Amino acid sequence: MKKVLITGITGYIGGTIAKKLLDRNYEVTGLVRNEAHVHELESLGIKTIVGNIHNEDLIKAAVSDVDAVIHNADSADDAYAVDNFIKALEGSHKTFIFTSGSAIFGGKENGKKSDFIFREDFPLQPRLEMASRVMINNYVLQSVNKDIRSIVIVPTMVYGEGLGIKKDSIQIPALVNFSQKKGYGVYFGEGENIWSNLHIEDLANLYVLALEKAKGGSVYYAENGYSSLKNIAEIISRKYNLEPAQSLSIQDAVDNFGPTGGYFGFASNSRCSAEKARTELDWNPIYNSIENFI
């Protein structure tokens, strides 16, 4: 039986990957920083190690006992944790699957539409704010040269109910919450900006396939559909019986969600193609409508 260490296992993505792996008879260990979750995880058949991704010695010990690591714990922007894992895995032939995020494609488009669709073989020229995120991804990919089977997955806007302790994603719940407070579905600027999206279970299935089939040094973009943010706001208005959707300023987005959420999470374009995952890994996502999960 293959042993997999998952970070962020109490979170939305990590918890769902864990469930999919348990269903396929993997031995799953979760790195958890809060002891309060240990009992619940262990009752699901998950082994636990209590600790922090910023504890080098702990990471080294945790990694020594598994065949693969799937790192989701606030992973996309945390170079310190990545460095800990790469150091611990160096020379091991072991697998390291790293979760990034598709805000790397974004510009400061302030709600305007871009039709550009990113693919893995297009060179990225990230804005300054996203440059370190792209550098981290490249560092992980280049760790194949350190005898690590490293794989980067770049999820887009993930929707649907998680299968672990945390059921909710990030963007849609935040928009629903904010819209309910305002009394209308909210978008920012023109709201014509587009994000690719996919269902959490399809995403978790992609991790399983990557674990089982991907070549070291591979990056996969993950999507199975797309929507403008204005369309999402209109759906929120309908589904939650709110007033018709309305635009707020980009500054409102920044004030409420911080600069990363404001500019990139809600007012940029983040569109890509997951053709590579479909072709190379035989990934067949089955959900294709964000509308049913808002």
The footprint of ligand NAP (CB under 6 A) covers 7-8, 10-14, 33-34, 52-54, 72-76, 99, 101, 155, 157-158, 166, 169-171
Contacts of 178 (CB under 8 A, 6+ apart): 186, 256
How many other C-beta atoms lie within 10 A of the C-beta of residue 95? 22
d(CA 1, CA 55): 27
| Residue among 231, 261, 250, 293 nearest 77 (CA) | 261
Cβ atoms of 196 and 202 within 8 Å: the answer is no
Q: Which is nearer to ligand NAP, 14 or 184 (CB)?
A: 14
Distance CA 59, CA 49 (A): 10
Q: What are the two backbone dihedrals, phi and then psi, of residue 62, each rounded to the nearest 5 degrees?
A: -65, -40
Identify which of residues 12 and 207 has a Cβ nearer to ligand NAP in the complex: 12
Rounded to a whole number of angstroms, the minimum distance from the CB of residue 147 to ligand NAP is 25
Instruction: Please give the Cα distance from 84 to 82 (Å, whole number).
Output: 5
Min separation Cβ 146 and ligand NAP, Å: 22
Q: Given the complex with ligand NAP, which of 171 and 237 has the nearer CB atom?
A: 171
Question: Using CA atoms, how far apart are residues 263 and 257, in angstroms rounded to an integer?
Answer: 9
Q: CA-to-CA distance for 170 and 223, rounded, in angstroms?
A: 16
Is 36:98 a contact under the CB 8 Å cutoff? no
Q: How far is the CB of 140 from ligand NAP (least distance, A)?
A: 13
Q: Which is nearer to ligand NAP, 13 or 248 (CB)?
A: 13
Read off the DSSP letter of residue 200.
H
Give the shortest CB-7-to-ligand NAP separation in angstroms.
Answer: 6
- What is the distance, to the nearest Å, from the Cα of residue 170 to the centroid of all Cα atoms in its chain? 10
Nearer to ligand NAP, 80 or 181 (CB): 80
Q: Which residue number is nearest to ligand NAP in terms of Cβ?
A: 11
Q: Smallest distance, Å, CB 101 to ligand NAP? A: 3
Q: Provide the 10 A C-beta neighbour count for residue 63.
A: 21
Of the two residues 17 and 281, which places its CB atom closer to ligand NAP in the complex? Answer: 17
Rounded least distance, CB 286 to ligand NAP, Å: 18
Least distance in angstroms from the C-beta of 98 to ligand NAP = 9
Nearer to ligand NAP, 52 or 256 (CB): 52
